[in-house]
Amino acid sequence: MTLSITYKFFSDLNTFHDYIDQQFLDHQITLMHGNVAAAYSSLVHLRALIKQHIHDEEEYLLPLYINLVRPVPKGGAVEFYRREHRTINRSLDDFIIELHGWSGQEAGNLRLVRLFDRYYKFKELLDHHHARERIFLYRLLDRVVHKKAIAETLERISHNQEKVLSHV
């Protein structure tokens, strides 16, 4: 699996969000076609990518944000990002556990509908979180971080993404 995204600004990370959204949609389509094993595998890989992305944001971006963004906008408090990150991780872990329990079984219509209801709420969370990052985190960091520091940070993030993708 390749990503082929070149990041020049923090705002370019929105392209990664689009990639994640597409991968999740592909996972859902695979599940709808009844291929539980492939859907499980794709979700495990997606979880690894999202967890790395969250780790990179917390390791590299949030410290910059804390140190450089003044005043912090009302909707852009650091704790909002961290709380949403925890909820995203917990949801992905729950989905993995549930799909693992389907191993060797058909998804079943009712089971699939219930899971997709939960997926709908998860996708709403991702949309909200990505909007918060687009409006506050990335945009404001692009304004206050020196171009060289942006390039170095994005190089680390790209390297980390490629490491995860190479294991897919």
Q: Which residues 6+ apart lie within 8 Å of 26 measured at CB?
A: 42
Is there a domain that residue 4 lies in? no
**What is the rounded average pLDDT of the residues 65-81?**
97
Which amino acid, one-letter code, is at 45? Answer: H
Is there a domain that residue 142 lies in? yes
Is there a domain that residue 144 lies in? yes
Is there a domain that residue 5 lies in? no
Tokens of 18: 């689009």
Is there a domain that residue 2 lies in? no
Q: How many residues does the chain have?
A: 168
How does pLDDT run across 93-142, given as a tens digit for each residue? Answer: 999 999 999 988 777 889 999 999 999 999 999 999 999 999 999 999 99
With CA atoms as reference, report the closest residue to 56 among 111, 16, 98.
16
Is there a domain that residue 160 lies in? yes
Instruction: Say how many domains are in the chain.
Output: 1
Q: Give the whole-angstrom CA distance, residue 51 versus residue 163.
A: 13
Is there a domain that residue 67 lies in? yes
Residue 59 pLDDT > 70: yes
Is there a domain that residue 60 lies in? yes
Write down the pLDDT at residue 18: 96
Identify whether the C-beta of residue 10 lies closer than 8 Å to the C-beta of residue 61.
yes
pLDDT grade for 5, boundaries at 50, 70 and 90: confident
Give the domain extent around 47: 10-166
Q: What is residue 9's DSSP assignment? A: S
pTM for the model: 0.94
